[in-house]
């Protein structure tokens, strides 16, 4: 399918590049991988052309700004990353847009940077890489806490989507992974970490305060769509501390959107489609952590997607969500 739109597509700047090295894959791949994630020119565009991806919303690599302990440095790196994305969008306006990196160490600074990116740079939303560290390495701040309500007010006022992207849990907080470091990242821990953060947002009353918020998660919903029935069924008996005024499943299906990034599998997609519906599903690749070729080959040829839905999930849903000026 030609004309696809993707928006879990990562880039890096020199200040954030090294944090990606652990996820580059097999030994010896780093030079090639770093070239991919730093490139915003010919190589990436040729890949997009070859796989039918017309337009990509770029975002800063994980954990990126979220792992910077000093707030002033986090603000500076976020601005540099966003300026690099904006420069690429100026050079290739028909191919790139941006999702803002945000210094969540300071909710007011994050609000100000999102406002700058949307109003001055033309960005279409934000991508934040999970919880934020601040001050000391053994810190993990989640955005359901009251201190972030002013930030969410800004997101709602700007009316742009917020993409919650995975990051690895801190070793000091991950005793259940001891002896099995492979579990902590993409094979399992990424989905666990992001799904818990998403469910915390659902259970915090956030979407009662700001019902128009749109939160995106990748990898076919980080296992949540498959578990929604079970979550709601058990919540009837043990809702201790739950602050939402509606069933959690209802909140999730109204306020969350899901992409195919990095999860190219027919049975899992079929289940997610049945739970979420075509209006809340979107194509993405997760480049360069996944290949555009794998993403597109699966998506373009999957027999569980009708041609009408393929165009909708691969293109028209994203045009509507991000208000893109594409024919």
The catalytic residues are 286
Q: Any long-range contacts for 243-250 (C-beta under 8 Å, 24+ apart)?
A: 243/203, 243/204, 243/205, 244/202, 244/203, 244/204, 244/205, 244/207, 244/208, 245/205, 245/208, 246/208, 248/199, 248/202, 248/203
* Phi-psi group of 24: left, alpha or beta (phi > 0 → left; psi -120 to 50 → alpha; rest → beta): alpha
DSSP 158-193: HT--EEE---PPPGGG-GGGTT-GGGGSTTTHHHHH
- Nearest Cα neighbor of 25 from 33, 13, 36 is 33
Give Cβ neighbours of residue 87 (< 8 Å, ≥ 6 apart).
none
Query: What is the DSSP-derived secondary structure letter of residue 31?
Result: H
- Is 122:89 a contact under the CB 8 Å cutoff? yes
Query: Phi then psi for 169, rounded to 5 degrees?
Result: -65, 150
Secondary-structure breakdown of the chain: helix, strand, coil percentages, each rounded to the nearest 5: 55, 15, 35
């Amino acid at each position: 399918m030609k004309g696809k739109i993707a928006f879990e597509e990562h880039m890096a700047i020199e200040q954030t590049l090294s944090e990606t090295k652990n996820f580059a894959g097999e030994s010896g791949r780093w030079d090639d991988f770093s070239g991919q994630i730093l490139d915003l020119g010919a190589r990436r565009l040729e890949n997009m052309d070859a796989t039918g991806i017309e337009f990509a919303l770029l975002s800063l690599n994980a954990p990126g700004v979220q792992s910077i302990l000093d707030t002033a440095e986090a603000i500076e790196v976020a601005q540099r990353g966003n300026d690099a994305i904006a420069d690429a969008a100026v050079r290739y306006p028909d191919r790139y847009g941006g999702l803002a990196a945000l210094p969540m160490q300071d909710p007011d600074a994050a609000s100000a940077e999102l406002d700058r990116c949307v109003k001055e740079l033309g960005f279409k939303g934000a991508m934040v890489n999970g919880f934020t560290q601040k001050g000391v390495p053994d810190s993990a701040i989640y955005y359901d806490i009251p201190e972030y309500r002013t930030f969410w007010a800004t997101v709602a006022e700007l009316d742009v989507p917020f993409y919650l992207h995975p990051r690895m849990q801190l070793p000091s907080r991950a005793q259940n992974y001891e002896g099995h470091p492979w579990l902590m990242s993409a094979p399992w821990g990424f989905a666990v970490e992001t799904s818990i953060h998403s469910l915390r947002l659902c259970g915090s009353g956030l979407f009662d305060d700001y019902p128009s918020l749109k939160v995106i998660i990748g990898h076919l919903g980080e296992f949540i769509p498959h578990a929604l029935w079970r979550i709601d069924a058990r919540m009837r008996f043990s809702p201790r501390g739950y602050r939402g005024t509606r069933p959690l499943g209802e909140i999730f299906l109204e306020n969350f959107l899901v992409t195919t990034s990095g999860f190219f599998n027919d049975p899992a997609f079929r289940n997610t489609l049945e739970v979420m519906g075509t209006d809340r599903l979107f194509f993405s690749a997760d480049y360069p952590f996944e290949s555009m070729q794998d993403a597109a080959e699966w998506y373009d040829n999957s027999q569980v997607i009708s041609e009408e839905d393929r165009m909708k999930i691969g293109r028209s849903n994203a045009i509507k969500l991000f208000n893109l000026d594409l024919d």
